[in-house]
Amino acid sequence: MQVYKVGSPEIAIAPLSSSIKSALYLGPTLWLVPGGSNIPITIATMANIDDELSTNLTIALTDERFGQYDHPDSNWTQLNQAGFYPKKAKLISVLKPDNRDLNATVSTYNLELEAELELVSSVIGLFGMGEDGHIAGILPNSPAANELNTLVTGYESAPFNRITLTFAGIRRLSTAFLIAAGESKRNALDRLIHQDLSLREQPAQILKQLTEAYVYNDQMEGESR
């Protein structure tokens, strides 16, 4: 895990774009994107991908807030409302118009990602990190932090029921980028960079198990691990 202190999160757009384009030149690529504060990073990065190159790209979510299709708190809805333009990329949404229940939605998304992983040569993930150290929708000490096998899991949580990649799913990534900005993230970053904690206690520690992971933040330097 390589850590970079930057003046602005937008600095990560260039290396993220370069990583995605390099992967696309080599073959089909799956890009997993978050909601929340990193939506502008997703939009700006996609703008750097050529239209023709985007035909080799599939885009899906790292996590979603369960509810009716296009509900206002949905990560996918918020991404689209912010002006996301996928060009010629294939899209895999978590929520479907037929509004199935949580378990059925999880099962379908799990099958769709499994099928896509058989087709692609690279998987790139973009993540944020919560003040509590969560990554994707894996909250500390949550049912998702105990899931060991499937790519995707879902669970009841306040204020949103969540659907998320699991640790097993994150381990399938070729490259991961985590972008965390703001003083409120300092404690979580300090724990991630300088402590070895259990995944259940701080789910973002999963990045240390990946072959290639980059942390961009505006709070502290760190050592490669």
d(CA 222, CA 225): 9
In the beta sheet, which residues pair with residue 63? 164
**What would the pLDDT profile of 149-166 be if each residue is shown by its tens digit?**
899 999 999 899 999 999
Would you say residue 224 has pLDDT above 80?
Answer: no
Share of the chain above pLDDT 90, in %: 94
Q: What is the pLDDT of residue 225?
A: 45
Q: What pLDDT, on a 0 to 100 scale, did the predictor assign at position 43?
A: 98
Give the pLDDT mean for 17-24.
Answer: 98
Q: Categorize the per-residue pLDDT at 220 as very low, low, confident or very high, splitting at 50, 70 and 90.
A: confident
Q: What is the pLDDT of residue 100?
A: 82
How confident is the model over 220-224, as a mean pLDDT? 69
pLDDT (0 to 100) of residue 89: 98
Partners of 60 in the β-ladder: 32, 92
Mean pLDDT across the stretch 58-66?
98
* Percent of the chain whose predicted confidence (pLDDT) is above 70: 99
pLDDT, one tens digit per residue, over 122-134 is 999 999 999 999 9
**Domain limits, the chain:** 2-217
Pairing, β 162-165 against β 63-65: antiparallel
**In this predicted structure, what is the pLDDT of residue 223?**
59
What would the pLDDT profile of 164-217 be if each residue is shown by its tens digit? Answer: 999 999 999 999 999 999 999 999 999 999 999 999 999 999 999 999 999 999
| Token pair listed for 132 | 């509590």
| Residue 222: per-residue pLDDT | 73
Q: Quick one: fold of 2-217?
A: Rossmann fold (3.40.50)
Query: In 93-222, where do the E strands start and end?
Result: 122-127, 152-155, 162-165, 175-180, 213-217
Average pLDDT, integer, range 110-137: 97
Strand order in the sheet with 63-65: 63-65, 162-165, 152-155
How confident is the prediction for the chain on average, in pLDDT? Answer: 95
3 state SS of 5: strand
Q: Give the pairing of strands 175-180 and 213-217.
A: parallel
Which whole-number Å values give the CA distances from 152 to 54, 63, 136, 163, in the listed order?
A: 25, 9, 11, 7
Cis check: omega of the bond before 140, within 30 degrees of 0: no
Q: Which CA distances in Å does 189 have to 63, 179, 186?
A: 21, 10, 5
Q: Assess whether pLDDT exceeds 80 at residue 99.
A: no
pTM over 0.85: yes
